């Protein structure tokens, strides 16, 4: 039995490439973004490790226990940068 032309499915439009940057979309990150992001995370970790290993003598002795907050703050900047990573 022949099929009716009115019951056939309409053709779908061709898919566009999703990688193409359309107007309004953000461009990929610059080359320096990833090293800076991981650098902040590692610098914060190293800051905290140095504080504990040196028994409160380094990196800044006058800050005392606030060195922990400084280290976490530096690492937190790196973690905040991960939200912008594409």
- When the pLDDT of each residue in the chain is averaged and rounded to a whole number, the result is 86
Question: Burial letters for 28-56: b for 16+ Cβ neighbours within 10 Å, e otherwise?
Answer: eeeeeeeeebeebbeebeebbeebeeeee
Look at residue 14 and tell me whether its pLDDT is greater than 80.
no
pLDDT, one tens digit per residue, over 19-68 is 555 566 788 999 999 999 999 999 999 999 999 999 888 999 999 989 99
Look at residue 8 and tell me whether its pLDDT is greater than 90.
no
Dig out the tokens for 25 from the structure. 């979309």
pLDDT of residue 9: 66
pTM: 0.67
Look at residue 85 and tell me whether its pLDDT is greater than 60.
yes
Distance CA 81, CA 86 (A): 10
> Helical H runs in 1-86?
33-53, 66-81
- The structure tokens 């032309």 sit at 5
């Amino acid at each position: 039995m022949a099929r009716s032309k009115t019951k056939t499915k309409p053709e779908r439009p061709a898919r566009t490439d999703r990688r193409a940057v359309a107007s309004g979309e953000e461009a990929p990150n610059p080359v320096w973004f990833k090293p800076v992001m991981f650098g902040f995370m590692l610098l914060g970790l190293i800051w905290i490790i140095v504080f504990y290993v040196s028994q409160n003598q380094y990196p800044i002795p006058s800050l005392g226990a606030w060195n922990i907050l400084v280290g976490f703050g530096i690492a937190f900047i790196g973690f905040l940068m991960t939200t912008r990573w594409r």
